[in-house]
Amino acid sequence: MNKVYSFASILIFLITSCTQENESAHTLDDIAREYVKTSLLIGQYDADFVDAYYGPDSFKPKENPSESEEFPKELLLQKTSEVKTALTDFIGLSDNQEELDRANYILAQLNAAEERIRIVSGETSDFDLESKQLFGVSAPTYDEAHFMEIIKKLESTLPGKGSLQERFQSLSKRFIIPVSKLDTVMKAAIAEARRQTKEHYPIPASEDFTLEFVGDKAWSGYNWYKGNFSSLIQINTDFPISIERVIDVGSHESYPGHHVYNMLLEENLYEKKGLIETSIYPLFSPQSFIAEGSANYGIELAFPGDQKIEFCKKVLLPLAGLDTTGITEYFHSLEMVSELNYAGNEVARGLLNGTLTEEEGIDYLIKYGFYSPEKAKQRIAFTKKYRSYVINYNYGKDLVKNYIEARGGTSDNPEKRWELFGQLLSKQFLPVNLKP
């Protein structure tokens, strides 16, 4: 009797514990689905949150919020907190490294989502803390003396009258693409970048993109990834577009930039491995650091060294009906001006931390970043909208570059560079892991 009783109690215990386990433990796929649904819910209230989504329609919230509805900060934070708790529990129980990496990646994306929810609610941190919470890293700080050093070096490369900034602007104006030729010239640059990329990666045969020219935007170009290996690439024509922007857009927005990054993720993680979280790309997340950094470094892969100059001379400038005189000097000065790119971070830092006014920010961009007054104003508008996102372009590029080159992907070993770059674009990768 006693024996029978204890057998029965063991049985009851086993049944109860199994039931409890089923109720409390979630599979990582379950949690990933909740992460996607939560991100879509945030996107309903923050129009800039979801950059791309190509997962099931059934994951989207059933009801649209009414216009008068306030931003539901507490509700959204409660949702992110629930998914984070499930993830933390999972991490505590799993000993599978691949699963742990996946769980930690989703966790980092959710931490960023929480920071974004706070920002939209009006609770902001200082610039460095914000970028760390959103993108996983804080960018280095540079003072005015740093930019002055670079500017001094530029003096000798840009002879002529007027201030150095004016001399640069007048050289740049010589290479502005006539509006009537923009479509042809852009498509030629994209075709070349696509050809280079296809030589290195087996890109899906059905891949495609649509190119559109738009206006009245805070950004200069945008890739809207639609899923199924298709992108809508929009170029803002509010301001004249110089030849280097054509090269940039050709590769940054498309090959091997955003279009290729999204395709490789869709193919390798979503289709082959069934990782549902890949179907959503929240803009304010560590993923953007990899996306923007790799897209900017990718320009160098598609058009390495002086090849961009040669390509402009032989193909793009003749297509645009422009004289090639001075193009080499222009690209060499652009290389130095690109080192001034971090001036944009300092302006964003100043605006967000309340140490610079907008007017002072515009002056800073003109003086230390070599912006034209009109572009400086656009940059301020971009910074007000996207905030610390600005570090993704320059610091992201630098960390991606260092990561690839430290592993042998140097300019004299282009095959290795493409290989490492392709690997980076095909996995869940956190910015903190780019650091040496």
Give the nearest distance from C-beta 379 to Zn ion in angstroms.
15
In the complex with Zn ion, which residue's Cβ is closer, 107 or 295? 295
Encoded tokens for 98: 């691949």
Question: How many residues belong to the site for Zn ion (CB under 5 A)?
Answer: 2
Cβ proximity to Zn ion, 229 vs 289, nearer residue? 289
- As a three-state string, the secondary structure of 47-81 is CCCEEEECCCHHHCCCCCCCCCCCCCHHHHHHHHH
Backbone torsions φ then ψ of 370, nearest 5 degrees: 60, 35
Per CB under 5 A, contacts with Zn ion among 243-302 are 292, 295
**Quick one: which of 179, 319, 302 has its CA closest to 249?**
302
Instruction: State the nearest-atom distance from the C-beta of 349 to Zn ion, in Å.
Output: 20
Considering the complex, what minimum distance in angstroms separates the CB of residue 299 from Zn ion?
11
Of residues 389 and 403, the one with the C-beta less far from Zn ion: 389
Q: In degrees to the nearest 10, what's the CA dihedral of 331, 334, 336, 340?
A: -170
Instruction: Report the nearest approach of Zn ion to the CB of residue 274 (Å).
Output: 27
In whole angstroms, the minimum distance from the beta carbon of 248 to Zn ion comes to 9
| DSSP secondary structure, 181-207, as one string | GHHHHHHHHHHHHHHHHHTTS---TT-
Is the Cβ–Cβ distance between 40 and 80 less than 8 Å? no
Q: In angstroms, how far is CA 166 from the centroid of its own chain?
A: 31
Residues in the chain: 436
State the nearest-atom distance from the C-beta of 257 to Zn ion, in Å.
Answer: 7
Nearer to Zn ion, 292 or 300 (CB): 292
Q: Is 295 or 316 the residue whose CB approaches Zn ion more closely?
A: 295
Interacting residues of 239 by C-beta distance below 8 A, sequence separation 6+:
220, 374, 375, 378
- Residues 228, 280: contact at Cβ < 8 Å? no
- 257 or 361: CB nearest Zn ion: 257
The contact mask relative to Zn ion for 295-334 (x = CB under 5 A, - = no) is x---------------------------------------
Query: Closest separation between CB of residue 357 and Zn ion, Å?
Result: 28
For Zn ion, give the closer residue by CB, 50 or 77: 50
CB 141 within 8 A of CB 131: no
Residues numbered 34 to 53 that lie near Zn ion (CB under 5 A) are: none
Which residue, 397, 278, 262, is CA-closest to 338? 397
**Footprint on this chain of Zn ion (rule: CB under 5 A):** 292, 295
